[in-house]
Amino acid sequence: MSDHELELAYGLRYFTADEINAVSFGCVDGFNKIQSIAIIKLDEVRHRLGYPLTLTCAYRTREHDISKGRSGNSDHCLGTGFDIQINGLVHALQIVAESAKEGFNSFGINLKAGFVHIGIKPKTKITTWEY
């Protein structure tokens, strides 16, 4: 199935394969590696908020993560995590609140770098951190 066919099959209103691929690292086809439930939920978060979300990171390969000194076990590597550009704490908390309503349960806020992480961790209630 082509990227466009997947976009249609998922019923995406706001995010495209090209957009996801542009912010995926260690591969050229991050859209195909994102779990469908995660991208569908992200699209719904965007709809609930009523304003655009700028993604700064979507899928990352385990090898890419490890090469950057990370664990290689992040939500991004599982295909369930996204980093979204923010304009301050209130903006981050709005995104977190709507994401939690949609079933995301992994949240990190980095005010200095200007992004919020949302993800889905299996078998976890809620995980939060700050950078």
All domains of the chain in start order, with CATH? 3-130 (3.30.1380.10)
Contacts of 111 (CB under 8 A, 6+ apart): 86, 88, 89, 92, 130
In this predicted structure, the answer to whether residue 40 has a pLDDT above a threshold of 70 is yes
Note the pTM of the prediction, 2 decimals. Answer: 0.91
In this predicted structure, the answer to whether residue 4 has a pLDDT above a threshold of 90 is no
Say what the pLDDT of residue 7 is: 64
Mean pLDDT of 56-67: 93
Say what the pLDDT of residue 129 is: 72
| Cα distance between residue 38 and residue 23, in whole Å | 15
Least confident of 32-36, 112-116, 127-131: 127-131
pLDDT band at 131; cut points 50, 70, 90: confident
Say what the pLDDT of residue 9 is: 66
Say what the pLDDT of residue 88 is: 96
Whole-number average pLDDT of the chain: 91
| Cα distance between residue 116 and residue 109, in whole Å | 4
Say what the pLDDT of residue 128 is: 82
| Cα distance between residue 23 and residue 83, in whole Å | 9
Give residue-wise pLDDT tens across range 70-98.
887 899 999 999 999 999 999 999 999 99
Say what the pLDDT of residue 72 is: 73
Token pair, residue 27, equals: 């591969």
Token pair, residue 24, equals: 């995926």
